Homo-oligomer: A and B are copies of this chain.
Amino acid sequence: MASDVSPLEEARLAYRPQLPAALRTGIAQVTLEERDPAALAVAIRERFPHTSGRPALRLVPGTGPPPRGPLRVGVVLSGGQAPGGHNVILGLVDALAGFDPTSSVVGFLGGPKGILTSEYRELPRAAVEPYRNTGGFDLLGSGRDKIETPEQLETCTEACRALALGGLVVVGGDDSNTNAAILAEHFLAQGLGTVVVGVPKTIDGDMKGGGIEASFGFDTATKVYAELVGNIARDARSAGKYWHFVRLMGRSASHVTLECALRTRPNVTWIAEEVEERGQTLAEIVERIAEVVRRRAEAGRSYGVCLVPEGLIEFVPEMRALMTALDAVLDREVGASHGAAPAERVASVSGLLGASARATFDSLPAPIREQLLLDSDSHGNVQVSKIDTEALLVERVEARVRAWKAEGRFPGAFHAQTHFFGYEGRCAAPSNFDADYTYTLGHVAAALVAFDRTGYVAAVQGLAGSVERWSASAVPLTSLLGMELRKGRSVPVIGKALVRTDGPVFHAFARERERWAIEDAYLYPGAIQYFGPPEVAGRGPLSLALESASG
């Protein structure tokens, strides 16, 4: 009871993250191999004159050492937590120390804001070591602030100059890496020698492509969610009483839901990208679920599991139209009925909507209608992530079942339980896959700084194979950028990688889902294992394996 770390954390402290062959002796004996630069859009080339047109890189065994002397490197954790963030820092610290023991690392506190306010801490090895293989971002904290305005860019430049940083490692998702690209360009334009390196992080799994095979944290988080979904499926089957509707994190992309579906084989799974492509309406979605509920009830199975991605509702055409209409109306409404009682506000807002949006709005259950209004943010925007999509679906399916029952067309019962899993997985201790992957990413980031290569994102290729054969690489941030319209302006951004309905991962799911719907084909993956045979303790995401197998 006296120990301040759990037995598992203590045991995990002893785990030495593995490195690919090229990095076994650290970064002192590697060379950079250059690939041909990717073709870039003119707008990107013009916006990034200093950092565009650079080659992709690969770290291979060489004679070293890297050209730069002892280094002082800053690191910042940006955005939502993902398992493995601490190992990125440990990898960075270990790699720099191995290359030059007088090197040092400083960590900015509370995310990018920490750079702007110069809040940081020194990170000697002893400070980082206790965080080896742990989850969370609590070593430094995190934040969602951006460094965007000319003033912020200037403040950041001054901070890096004042700290004499040879490098700045930005651990984050698509937005943070877009930010890193802008910083790299800005620093070069200002003649600042701070090398900027991005590290791809997000449990959503939507930062990939262009040489990035996976973002870190996805493997661990999906393993936690799949554990829970599997346990719930086993409960559903054992009790024979409930349908469980489970909403999973992933607002834009449904990678998390798809990976969990492959690991657990639920009866119904929605992939938002497919819903959008097919233009499926809420009524069609409800009809499909109700149909499976009925067919299973006919087979004597009044239970089941339905997976729903957090962002589903945004991809349903009439709901998307309603949101747009509501955003406009709520903007105007703020002065008027904003302070009224919920029921009054609902009536008032309904009156302000056009006919089609009104029909959709009025058809929703009262709590959801209130949720749509109450949870609008300070700009009057509906906050989709707070809508209980799973509860909405349950209510609609219940209504459908009642109608069938009245016609004598529904045998059995329909009782539902709802769940939402998000916070449960973001800070789990990294799986061996994520522990090795992030430790390697930290080494790659260190190498990029030591070799004076700015504007890159650290990448590891061949992740579906053994760690030994992973290829430590780097991809120019500019090669990931595209121009997108944001708030009326065309700006460079790293786009989110969505689930491809013509890809091997979706196919593996689509091929089987009809069988999973009616049979009990559930798989029970169980808890993440950090020890034991490689089949249970050594595997990465199924999505990666499927993508790799398809070439």
In the bound complex, do residue B238 and residue A536 qualify as a contact, i.e. CB atoms below 8 Å apart? Answer: no
The reply on A398 being an interface residue by CB < 8 A is no
Contacts of A525 in B (CB 8 A): 6-8
Contacts of A427 in B (CB 8 A): 231-232, 234-235, 238, 524
The reply on A358 being an interface residue by CB < 8 A is no
| A contact residues vs B (CB 8 Å cutoff) | 1, 4-12, 80-81, 110, 134-138, 141-142, 224, 227-228, 230-232, 234-235, 237-240, 242, 244, 262-263, 417, 419, 423-429, 508, 521, 523-533, 535-537, 539, 542, 546
In the bound complex, do residue A527 and residue B524 qualify as a contact, i.e. CB atoms below 8 Å apart? Answer: no
A537 interface neighbour in B234, B524, B531, B539, Cβ under 8 Å: B531
In the bound complex, do residue A7 and residue B232 qualify as a contact, i.e. CB atoms below 8 Å apart? Answer: no
Contacts of A527 in B (CB 8 A): 8, 224, 227, 428-429, 527-530
In the bound complex, do residue A235 and residue B423 qualify as a contact, i.e. CB atoms below 8 Å apart? Answer: yes
In the bound complex, do residue B224 and residue A135 qualify as a contact, i.e. CB atoms below 8 Å apart? Answer: no
Q: List 16 A-B contacts (CB under 8 A).
A: A6-B523, A7-B539, A11-B533, A81-B235, A136-B238, A137-B238, A138-B237, A224-B527, A228-B228, A231-B424, A232-B423, A232-B424, A417-B423, A427-B524, A428-B526, A429-B524
Contacts of A533 in B (CB 8 A): 11, 531
In the bound complex, do residue B263 and residue A524 qualify as a contact, i.e. CB atoms below 8 Å apart? Answer: no
State A80–B242 Cα separation when bound (angstroms).
13
State A11–B525 Cα separation when bound (angstroms).
11
A224 interface neighbour in B231, B425, B426, B537, Cβ under 8 Å: B231
Contacts of A10 in B (CB 8 A): 535
Contacts of A230 in B (CB 8 A): 6
In the bound complex, do residue B11 and residue A136 qualify as a contact, i.e. CB atoms below 8 Å apart? Answer: no
Contacts of A536 in B (CB 8 A): 7-8, 11, 531
**Min C-beta distance of A509 to chain B, whole Å:** 10
In the bound complex, do residue B231 and residue A425 qualify as a contact, i.e. CB atoms below 8 Å apart? Answer: yes
In the bound complex, do residue B424 and residue A228 qualify as a contact, i.e. CB atoms below 8 Å apart? Answer: yes
State A374–B265 Cα separation when bound (angstroms).
34
In the bound complex, do residue B429 and residue A526 qualify as a contact, i.e. CB atoms below 8 Å apart? Answer: yes
**Min C-beta distance of A78 to chain B, whole Å:** 12
Contacts of A523 in B (CB 8 A): 4-6, 9
State A158–B435 Cα separation when bound (angstroms).
60
